[in-house]
Homo-oligomer: A and B are copies of this chain.
């Protein structure tokens, strides 16, 4: 699947963050018209990403946010409750979104090789569709309160376990060469995170997300092929 096909199929994009946040926090917001609320939430989120991408969320002031978003300080607080509340809202909205898409992705296949490819490509495509959110979520997780920090950690562990389960099953079925599944899943996640943590580097080098996905898949293949011999590229494809 190409990135373009992924976008078309899932419809994931920055606007969905505002929609998710509006659904989750509608009651606490002063605005009553959905259209107004979505417009302003999008502005606020965009401004948060811009500023905290440069100097971090902790160093961002509400005055910075007011200037960048175009809303006054007063109006800001009709949407966000507090600075910490804003962080929590944004993290939760994205986590809900990303979780759904990724769970669905693996469910579509039963062959270990196919599952492995799906989980790699969908994780990368998801982070390509919401690059600012993924970077933000990664860098600012430790500023969350205890409750939210636990939720973020759990989501992280869940996605690693998904990958580890695929590897274990493949090994058990004799389709994958034996491997420490937990460890390979952990470094696999690190390589997936690399894509959005260093997004700018790959943009400069003109590496497309499909190139990166193909490279990771090939790396996994060379480790996991039962015979450890490189045969024709697609003799295990779906």
- Please tell me the size bucket of the interface on A: 35 or more
Do B183 and A194 touch across chains, with their CB atoms under 8 A apart?
Answer: no
Is A23 located at the chain interface by the 8 A CB criterion?
Answer: no
Do B59 and A215 touch across chains, with their CB atoms under 8 A apart?
Answer: no
Chain B hits for A230, CB < 8 A: 177, 228
Do B142 and A55 touch across chains, with their CB atoms under 8 A apart?
Answer: yes
Chain B: which residue is nearest A192 at the CB level? B190
How long is the Cα–Cα vector from A139 to B177 in the complex, in angstroms?
36
Quick one: given A56-B56, A191-B187, are A223 and B228 in contact (CB under 8 Å)?
no
Interface residues of A in 11-66 (CB under 8 A from B): 54-56, 58-59
Chain B hits for A72, CB < 8 A: none
What is the interface of chain A mostly: helix, strand, loop, or mixed?
Answer: helix
Do A219 and B223 touch across chains, with their CB atoms under 8 A apart?
Answer: yes
Is A186 located at the chain interface by the 8 A CB criterion?
Answer: yes
Is A193 located at the chain interface by the 8 A CB criterion?
Answer: yes
Chain B hits for A205, CB < 8 A: 182
Chain B hits for A186, CB < 8 A: 194, 198, 201-202
Chain B hits for A55, CB < 8 A: 58, 142-143
Do B215 and A180 touch across chains, with their CB atoms under 8 A apart?
Answer: yes
Least CB distance from A216 to B in Å reads: 7
Is A1 located at the chain interface by the 8 A CB criterion?
Answer: no
Least CB distance from A230 to B in Å reads: 4
How long is the Cα–Cα vector from A223 to B221 in the complex, in angstroms?
9
Least CB distance from A236 to B in Å reads: 15
Chain B hits for A222, CB < 8 A: 222-223, 228
Do B187 and A194 touch across chains, with their CB atoms under 8 A apart?
Answer: yes
Interface residues of A in 192-238 (CB under 8 A from B): 193-194, 198, 201-202, 205, 207, 211-212, 215-216, 219, 222-223, 227-230
Least CB distance from A49 to B in Å reads: 14
Chain B hits for A190, CB < 8 A: 190-191, 193-194, 198
Do A183 and B215 touch across chains, with their CB atoms under 8 A apart?
Answer: yes
Would you list the 4 A-B pairs with minimal beta carbon distance, nearest first? A190-B194, A58-B58, A228-B230, A58-B59
